[in-house]
Amino acid sequence: MSQNLGAGRLLAISPHLDDAVLSFGAGLARAAQDGAKVTVYTVFAGTATPPYSPAAERLHGIWGLSPDQDASLHRRNEDIAALDHLGVDYRHGRFLDAIYRTLPDGRWLADNVPGRQKLAISRLSPQTDPDLFAAVRDDIKSVVEECDPTLILTCAAGNGHIDNEITRDAALLVAHEKDLPVRLWEDLPHAMFGAGPAELPEGFDLGTGDFGSVTTDMRDRKFEALRLYPSQMLMLHGPGKDFFAQLDEHARKNSPQGGYGETTWPVVSREDNS
């Protein structure tokens, strides 16, 4: 089945500075080409300052950044270039990525996994920090009021990442308040490696998944945009790791007819179902 996003106003609410393009970049590019006004708002795009967690310092090194470089600014500039290549607008939020935040007891939220590029992010409820959740919700509401979308897209948060869950849950509450339709995208690349099912907050259910096929040029546009995140490509793509072949293979497994595409799900309020 091919998604028809129409030619309205789409607001994609992304947890991090590459999530929307990784997970739904081809769909965003196609919507923009079809005449939609598309904006990507990235929630956890704020400027972090030293001291950094050991996990953040290690990632900065993997991203090819020197200790004196502003990693947050560097990544925002990558994001601007990538979204411009897709033909969509951007908004950058003020909140810090989990790798820069601490737990209530002062310990870092993110920790290194010895011998691997992955991090261990403490598993928390989105409501563990109610002040952060409320602030994210308020900022999403402001962006929704500014952009006046006809559809909201955000992550399914099947990867269990606290930033993704905060983003999704806050977006769902604002969309419900505004009576706006929501679709959740499959979290890539996590879904390629066995991410679990999305557990939505009370009162919301997932509808039937929809694989949105795209033309080869939209697939290529997405892949070109991803290459404009060199910091992330240093982790995902390189010697012994053909990330783009992995994306193609994952799409083929999900496609009813072959070819490239991306999966989303509509969100249904239980009040609407009753």
Q: Annotate 91-106 with three-state secondary structure.
A: EECCCCCHHHCECCCC
Instruction: Give the CATH number, domain containing residue 169.
Output: 3.40.50.10320
In a domain, 84, yes or no: yes
Helix H or strand E encompassing 111: strand 110-112
Mean pLDDT estimate for the chain: 92
Mapped onto helix, strand or coil, the DSSP state of residue 26 is helix
Count CB-CB contacts under 10 A for residue 48: 18
Q: 161, 151, 154: which is closest to 184 by C-alpha?
A: 154
Residue 116: band (very low, low, confident or very high) from pLDDT cuts 50, 70, 90:
low
Q: What's residue 193's pLDDT?
A: 83
Round to whole Å and give the CA distance between 14 and 134.
Answer: 17
Task: Give the model's pLDDT for residue 113.
Answer: 78
Average pLDDT over residues 132-141: 97
**Does 28 have pLDDT greater than 70?**
yes
Q: How confident is the model at residue 79 (pLDDT cuts 50, 70, 90)?
A: very high
Report residue 1's pLDDT band, with 50, 70 and 90 as the boundaries.
Answer: very low
pLDDT at 22 over 80: yes
pLDDT at 114 > cutoff 80: no
Percent of the chain at pLDDT > 70 equals 95
Does residue 2 lie within any of the structural domains? Answer: no
Does residue 84 sit in helix, strand or coil? helix
Residue 1 lies in a domain: no
Tell me how far apart the terminal alpha carbons of the chain are, to the nearest angstrom: 27
Rounded Cα–Cα distance for residues 4 and 160 (Å): 28
Mean pLDDT of 87-113: 93
* pLDDT single digits (tens) 238-258: 788 899 999 999 999 999 888
Give residue 274's pLDDT: 47
Within-domain flag for 3? no
How many independent structural domains does the chain possess?
Answer: 1
Q: What is the pLDDT of residue 207?
A: 94
**What would the mean pLDDT of 3-25 be, rounded to a whole number?**
91
Alpha helices (H) along the chain: 19-33, 54-62, 71-86, 130-147, 162-178, 216-226, 230-236, 243-254, 270-273
* pLDDT, tens only, 223-232: 999 999 999 9
- C-alpha dihedral, 31 to 36 to 37 to 39, nearest 10°: -20
Could you report the per-residue pLDDT of 258-270, keeping only the tens digit for each? 899 999 999 998 7
What residues make up the domain containing 134?
A: 9-273
The interaxial angle of helices 71-86 and 19-33, nearest 10 deg, is 30
Instruction: Please give the Cα distance from 266 to 274 (Å, whole number).
Output: 17
More confident residue, 193 or 250: 250
pLDDT of residue 127: 78
Q: Do the beta carbons of residue 241 and residue 189 sit within 8 Å?
A: no
